[in-house]
Structure 1
Amino acid sequence: MEMAVMQPRVYPRNPALKVLAFLAALLLWTGWTDRAAAEVILNHSLCHAVSETLSADSASPPPFSCIGDPQGYQRGSLWLRTNVDTYPVDPRNLVLLVHHSRFDRLKVSFTYADGRSLSQEVNSGNFGSHWRTGGQIAFEAPLRDARLLSITMRFDRLASANLLRMRMMTRGEANVQATALSISVAAALTLLLIGALYNTTLAFSLRRQFPLWQAAWAGCMLVWGTMWSQLHLFILPGLAGAVSAQTCTALSCLAVTMAAFSAVMALDRQVLPEPMRRITLTLAAAVAILGIPLTFMRQGPIETMAAVLGALILGVLIGVALCLGWAWRRGSVEARTFAGAWSLPMLALGSVQFVDTNTIFWGGGSQLLVLFAAAWQTLWLAAAASRTHARLRIEHDRARRAEAQAHELARRDPLTGLRNRRGFVEAAAPMFDVNRSGASPLALLLLDIDKFKRINDTHGHDAGDMVLVTIGNRIARWEGDMCKVARLGGEEFALMVAGMDGFALHRFAQSVRKGIAECNHAEAIGEGPVTVSIGVAEATPDSDFRELYRHADEALYSAKHEGRDRVVFYRAENAGHEAGDNPPIHAA
């Protein structure tokens, strides 16, 4: 018995889903309306005979009965016969299609008016050239001058006669349907493959269970669709028949379980009552458990167990619907996503219980609906996961930018916007590395505003802050790749300068001093210049920031001691003198 789970589809919101929607609409329209006029469904127009034990190959069938249902055939042989001349199909151009393969052997005999009977047969594990896409087995009536009268089919160890579907049509119509069905199946399987790969990628990138469950479900449906459609027989012809049919049953039950788990596990426990969650997951697990004996069953009450399994699947769908509805009312975003993905397929699955879909979609029937619904839901949820992923990436980028801004603000002086001491040390670190390699000279300029306390005492701290801002703006003009500037605290500023030494460094330091002296502070303190004293220290290959700062500070002290508003360079030969000893440090 080949069973499957209907998966959801919803109206799309992206190009991939729009394409799938178009294909699904075309599938529905053509599958329901483009029925061949010469196609004949044989399910309810066959006479039957039963051999309770396997008959010999040359044995004649028991007497046929055209009323009631066959019984006791699962261990033996079931014979089915129909008279061809009662159907509107050209017997000289006839193809018989059988849509069930859980049997050991099927032998089809074509009987002609001249009394001759020609047979074709397939065995489980060897369908030869008779298999067709969509789980079908095709038998073409041999072309003969004599008129074809009847077709007799003998099934050995058939699992269930009620699951058989048989059709007759012309060769041309059979070829058209096979082509259409192959294209549809290939499209659905391709979309499932894309969805499975994409969801797997999302699962690893997002590190969440939901895409992984969805990828596992899509992969399961991909394998199921490949085996149901019999496309795997291109590579593994020995799996034809009962093995593939039983595997499809197991995969369909597993797919139901995975689909339910993917939906329920995606919902936050806080928005879902625990009993509802447990009942739904238990029903889903029961489907997988019941699928185990049903997979291996070749005789017994298969139809009864299939009905129980169908009831369990409906229970799972109802449970999932209740979980999604409850979580939606509690504001769950995941619930809204899954509700959109599950709503229409639930309606479609319900309609399948009342509408016979086995005779439409070029013989693909409900299985083809399941395949397209699975592809639809996979792409829908992949698109939803993509939107979530994109939203998380945006939020992550915003968080990183905010972190970078906070990191930058922690290294900036809030009054002037210049780097603070911490930021200055970090910015200057690469310049020390270049200096150690001998590629570029390096020097530190320490600036201290002259008589700044008098400004605060005379004009107030607000005026003092305005002076600091004005000078900070002026110093910021020298900021660049070769010069890093900062306010180290109070009225002290600093410049780390690379690429200059000797006379060039002297001129630069003097231009800094003069540029600051030219600043206009009329708004803050009225007319009159504000000057700075500058101490300069040049780095050696072995210098670090602490040592260079100490040297520049000694030079700055000398500049203050010698009368302010000047530049003083530190000289290494005077390093042992105390600042109070008034060492002979060169004034520029």
Structure 2
Amino acid sequence: MGWPGAGLAEVLRIGRPLCHSVSAVVAGKDAVPARFKCEGDPEGYQKGTLWLRAALPSGRDGQDDLSLIVHSSRFDRLLVTFSYADGAREQQDVRSGDFGTHWRAGGQLAFRAPHRDVPLTGVTMRFDKVASADLLRMRLVGRGEESTQTTGLATSIGAALVLLLAGAIYNASLAVAVRRQFSAWQAAWAACMIAWGACWSQLHLFFFPGMAGALSAQICTGLSCLAIALATLSAVTALDAGSVSPWLRRTALGLTAIVVALGVPLSMMRSGPFAALGAVLGIVLLANLVAVACCIAQAWRRGSPEARSFAGAWAVPMVVLASTEFFDADRMFWGGGSQILVLFAAAWQTLWLSVAASRSHARLRIERDMARRAEAQAQELARRDALTGLPNRRGFMEKVGSVLERARERGEVVALLLIDVDWFKSINDVYGHDAGDVVLAAIARRIAPHEDRNCTVARLGGEEFAVMIAGLEGYDLVRFGDALRQQIAACDHGDIVGHRKVTVSIGIAEALNGAEFRSLYRLADEALYEAKRQGRDQVAIRLLDEKAAMEAL
């Protein structure tokens, strides 16, 4: 049997090489057992005292520089005694609720053997009211190795908890943003794993040193069962109802309920059939994992996209949790054992599902944006004339209000121009409606460039167009209307109507002190008829105030 001294660590087990002694009641302060047994398992210690002793062979290098690492469990008191060749003994102790400076990250207690000039010959541990000897894990390591392992384990735990925290925050924000039940369950699960990881690793003792020992162990048991329930709920409820058989879904949820039902008494127990209930819980946990795996596999076969995400997320935790039932992980990861494996598997699952949720959310957001763009395009098309591309009457009326409002706020003159194509019916009768459509589209191309923030244009219907403009008045307004008339008259329609000239008549209504659209339209329509009566290809203008005065007379 090797002992630590050259970077090695020795796991101490009852019977290999630990001998034990039991007192049915808590022994006195300085009590020493009469004899130790080195075979069999200790019994009857849960309400009393359990002594464990390891004798160190003499003549080994490094025996005067050792640390005893004990993975904390449920006990009231732990007294460690280091024995030396000259008969001297050095004692160090911790109590539930007070671990002092002995606690380390990873759920460990470290007891350093004081350096003396004589060899260390043995280590004795006294546990008062320990819940289960089977859950105790002890190692002897070199002091330098203990510092390295403690630092490495603390760093690893911190990294895993940070990843879990990021996943919890992200999923919680996603649940609020998109109101997805799955993200809420996943955030709750990640938060539960953070609490479990902090409690198991004893990092919470930085802030709550009084929770050391049995209380933390009990909380860890409850949190672990709660985490299993949340993980199962997040997986089963995220899968479509039609992709998983009802009986299989009920089986998974039923096994989860059993896990919780076993976890509640286990988290409260300080003594009793602790190991037996723990073994039953392990079997139910494996069955629960199998049931969840079957749900995911069935959903995958039925084409569920969520199942593919869960398959990748659950693969690693399932393998880890299942494998810890079949091999001894006590020597692994600086003594972190299966718990550190579970913590990293949880971080993996959270990150995987966060990425999957991000991709799903991004896909939904793209689809939503495309739908919104399509809706906006449809609404815009509903406001546009299909032939000319100009706003139709509906689109024009929606824009007119903003032009009138800005003009009223700025105290600007506003004007409405009604444009009507001269003798357009004869174009349709002689050359056909297709030719008329080409003519209207050409006229629209002359009018369209004038559309801006202070000017809106439209095809009101048939051969009638409209322009609403703010900021022009009097001579400038008439010159604008006449320039527009000349631009339209200059259009070359030779390919459609030969040498026939296409002209328009324009009626302008000008409002000096602001006006409503109906008043402007009625006045512009009168001006348009006046331009028609004057021989067409003309511009006529009316002032709204002048018209109102005439009506008053």
Q: TM-score range by the shorter chain?
A: over 0.9
Equivalent residue letter for 1:543? A
Cα–Cα, structure 1 residues 36 and 131, in superposed 2: closer, same or farther, change >3 Å? farther
Query: Could you say which structure has the greater relative contact order, defined with CA pairs below 8 angstroms and 6 or more residues apart?
Result: 1
Q: Which digits, 9 at most, give the CA deviation of each residue in 1:12-35, with x for residues without a partner?
A: xxxxxxxxxxxxxxxxxxxxxxx9
SS at match of 1:153: strand
CA distance in 2, matches of 1:343, 1:89: 45
Cα–Cα, structure 1 residues 301 and 86, in superposed 2: closer, same or farther, change >3 Å? farther
Equivalent residue letter for 1:467? V
Counterparts of 1:6-155 in structure 2, within 5 Å, are: 37-43=7-13, 44-85=16-57, 90-155=62-127
Number of residues of Structure 1 aligned to a counterpart in Structure 2: 544
Shift of 1:270: 2.1
CA distance in 2, matches of 1:434, 1:317: 67
The residue number in structure 1 matching 2:140 is: 168
Equivalent residue letter for 2:10? V
Q: Does 1:486 align with 2:458?
A: yes
The residue number in structure 2 matching 1:346 is: 318
Q: Does 1:226 align with 2:208?
A: no
Q: Does 1:523 align with 2:481?
A: no
SS at match of 2:109: strand
Cα–Cα, structure 1 residues 574 and 431, in superposed 2: closer, same or farther, change >3 Å? closer
Shift of 1:239: 0.5
CA distance in 2, matches of 1:577, 1:277: 84
Counterpart of 1:412 (choices 359, 373, 384) is: 384
After superposition, the CA RMSD in angstroms is: 1.7
Counterpart of 1:546 (choices 492, 504, 518) is: 518
Structure 1 unaligned blocks of 5 or more: 1-34, 579-588
Equivalent residue letter for 1:221? M
| 8 Å Cα contact 1:435/1:541 also seen in 2 | no
CA distance in 2, matches of 1:510, 1:249: 89
Flag as ranges the 4+ runs of structure 1 deviating above 6 A.
none
Counterparts of 1:230-241 in structure 2, within 5 Å, are: 230-241=202-213
Counterparts of 1:322-333 in structure 2, within 5 Å, are: 322-333=294-305
Relative to the length of structure 2, the TM-score reads 0.96
SS at match of 1:477: helix
SS at match of 2:527: helix
| 8 Å Cα contact 1:39/1:89 also seen in 2 | no
CA distance in 2, matches of 1:134, 1:360: 12
Q: Does 1:269 align with 2:257?
A: no
- Higher mean displacement: 142-151 or 369-378: 142-151
CA distance in 1, matches of 2:272, 2:504: 103
Q: Does 1:472 align with 2:444?
A: yes
Equivalent residue letter for 2:11? I
- Higher mean displacement: 486-495 or 346-355: 346-355
The residue number in structure 2 matching 1:7 is: none
Q: Does 1:556 align with 2:540?
A: no
Structure 2 unaligned blocks of 5 or more: none
Relative to the length of structure 1, the TM-score reads 0.90
Shift of 1:557: 1.5
| 8 Å Cα contact 2:80/2:93 also seen in 1 | yes
Counterpart of 2:415 (choices 443, 446, 457) is: 443
Q: Which digits, 9 at most, give the CA deviation of each residue in 1:551-583, with x for residues without a partner?
A: 1111112112222110111244446989xxxxx
Shift of 1:469: 0.9
Equivalent residue letter for 2:443? I
SS at match of 2:74: coil
SS at match of 1:425: helix
| 8 Å Cα contact 1:36/1:173 also seen in 2 | no
| 8 Å Cα contact 2:58/2:119 also seen in 1 | no
Cα–Cα, structure 1 residues 571 and 41, in superposed 2: closer, same or farther, change >3 Å? closer
| 8 Å Cα contact 2:416/2:524 also seen in 1 | yes
Equivalent residue letter for 2:252? T
Equivalent residue letter for 2:166? I
| 8 Å Cα contact 2:71/2:138 also seen in 1 | yes
Shift of 1:542: 4.2
Cα–Cα, structure 1 residues 52 and 413, in superposed 2: closer, same or farther, change >3 Å? same
Counterpart of 2:435 (choices 452, 460, 463) is: 463
